Structure 1
């Protein structure tokens, strides 16, 4: 579909002739929300169910174009969904001024990992969904290019950095906003276990049992994977002390309980990169909660670097 000829905002069967992913994942429906935003649904073998993906396309985009576009993958945090970035941030407004596609896949509370499942593995395989199925589907059907960056907030930030390390070269730039960047630091396994229990999950299915399956935890741990990030542009941002910051009010101050340990892992991660001689832009800002006002601020701060890294040119104002 050519930009500017969007269908009404309703889900319809996917057009004929769409290509599948290598493992048979296929697009079963798509829905245009406006002239620059559409959702598509994937019948995903990796997850074992249908999953949604939201896409922002730039001016002049067409699925029939001879060219491709640079891509930003935007990953969401826990207890949220694929709609979070367009619902809670200014991403649509600023993306509209650049020649970039933004891909925002569902991640549920999946930990951005193929689940360990007590060593049996199997579904859900969130890493396979994101890094193989979604990537292949947008490249084969929607003219997404092979030049990519990623960013994420909270667990999405951890996922972005971990994916960049586990798939060297997949992303030219990786940005984390309040992501836990050291999974095995003191107190962090307990924090993640409690968080996932509150999400009504068996927390040991994701990475395994802390102290027993630590090798699998390390295999997904940004801190442990840090040497594999050489050559990738990096941005991390987090509050560090859990105190209320300039953008907090009564509705956001509780987020300090999460941001303090998160910030500690960001400091560790920054220090480890410095030891390795790997450049990183680190905005570790002291007071400030685990909340959207700060992530919107950091989105503005990192956006030019993301676009520069993938060669996405500025196209004009958002009006």
Structure 2
């Protein structure tokens, strides 16, 4: 185990003005490392003191055993993330899959129903959520100082994929590629599902971006801001909700998917189709992985994580 205390000045990233809905981020205060626990030669847990959230956030990093700077893939969790680790390492073979690849996989821990965004109001259930500030301002300098080279991609499953596209359009200078696994990047289309998912976990969705029709919803809609994805590698995957080869595999992380995984994926599929049509109308190329079967569950996300890597890895030079 290695423990360090390193103050890191955090950069405020300037976003080019592309349309009236762009909101420039506030400059974050300096974040610092509380400690680093070396969990294995290829996996480290970094505990970061986040000024924006007023607490320590754990971030686990998968990395090659050899040292040196390399590109980073920020990989976000779903609505119900793991407590002590990302569900990507708990429910898939991500650690083994990336062990021989020249990339850091950056896995934030926590953020239930957060959509990895800055909430307008503190929530009685979740407390202070300032995930956008943490992920785009406080964390990248720390990752780059220890592991990275400033070249990034971002992706996620379900909620995390929605958030990945939102962060990519709000901070286009940060990412060369963006991926969503069973995700709906169209915030307006998914508004009802987003609000229900937060309320279903005890939060008040109005505390995030205000009520329906509030300007902040449009400011976090990757479909409305899709032009900012131009030039990036884009990957989206979806099943159809029809049971496929993995339905017999019960994942304890999301046992509810046995019942809900089919209907949820039907909705995701419709959203991905609509989003692809929007991209095509704007002449923005994208890799869309349509499966004829498959539900909203982890075994399929492991498959599509593998399938997406050639495109994502090429985009960041990993």
Work out which of the residue numbers 182, 188, 191 in structure 2 matches 1:184.
Answer: 188
Task: Name the CA distance, whole Å, in 2 between partners of 1:300 and 1:16.
Answer: 35
Work out which of the residue numbers 207, 211, 216 in structure 2 matches 1:205.
Answer: 207
C-alpha contact (below 8 Å) 1:172/1:232 kept by paired residues: yes
Q: Secondary structure of the equivalent of 2:38?
A: strand
State the partner residue of 2:109. Answer: 106
Task: Name the CA distance, whole Å, in 2 between partners of 1:117 and 1:286.
Answer: 41
Task: Name the CA distance, whole Å, in 2 between partners of 1:189 and 1:149.
Answer: 25
State the partner residue of 2:4. Answer: 15
C-alpha contact (below 8 Å) 1:37/1:57 kept by paired residues: yes
Task: Name the CA distance, whole Å, in 2 between partners of 1:199 and 1:190.
Answer: 14
Superposed CA RMSD: 1.9
Is 1:239 matched up with 2:242? no
C-alpha contact (below 8 Å) 1:169/1:232 kept by paired residues: no
In the TM superposition, residue 217 of structure 1 has moved relative to its aligned partner by: 0.8
State the partner residue of 1:194. Answer: 196
Task: Name the CA distance, whole Å, in 2 between partners of 1:298 and 1:91.
Answer: 11
Deviations 1:214-260 (A, max 9, x none): x21111112112111000000000123x3322322384432112111
Task: Name the CA distance, whole Å, in 1 between partners of 2:79 and 2:157.
Answer: 9
State the partner residue of 2:170. Answer: 166
Work out which of the residue numbers 57, 65, 84 in structure 2 matches 1:59.
Answer: 65
CA 273–58 in structure 1, closer or farther in 2 if over 3 Å, else same: same
Work out which of the residue numbers 65, 82, 87 in structure 2 matches 1:84.
Answer: 87
State the partner residue of 2:33. Answer: 27
State the partner residue of 1:40. Answer: 46
Unmatched 5+ stretches in structure 2? 12-28, 251-256
Residues 79-88 or 51-60, more deviating: 79-88
TM-score by length of structure 2 reads: 0.85
C-alpha contact (below 8 Å) 2:104/2:147 kept by paired residues: no
C-alpha contact (below 8 Å) 1:59/1:99 kept by paired residues: no
TM-score by length of structure 1 reads: 0.84
> What number of residue pairs does the alignment pair up?
287
State the partner residue of 1:69. Answer: 70
Task: Name the CA distance, whole Å, in 2 between partners of 1:259 and 1:138.
Answer: 33
In the TM superposition, residue 124 of structure 1 has moved relative to its aligned partner by: 2.1
Runs of 4+ in 1 over 4 A off after TM superposition: none
Task: Name the CA distance, whole Å, in 2 between partners of 1:116 and 1:35.
Answer: 39
State the partner residue of 2:295. Answer: 289
Work out which of the residue numbers 119, 122, 128 in structure 2 matches 1:115.
Answer: 119
Task: Name the CA distance, whole Å, in 2 between partners of 1:42 and 1:98.
Answer: 25
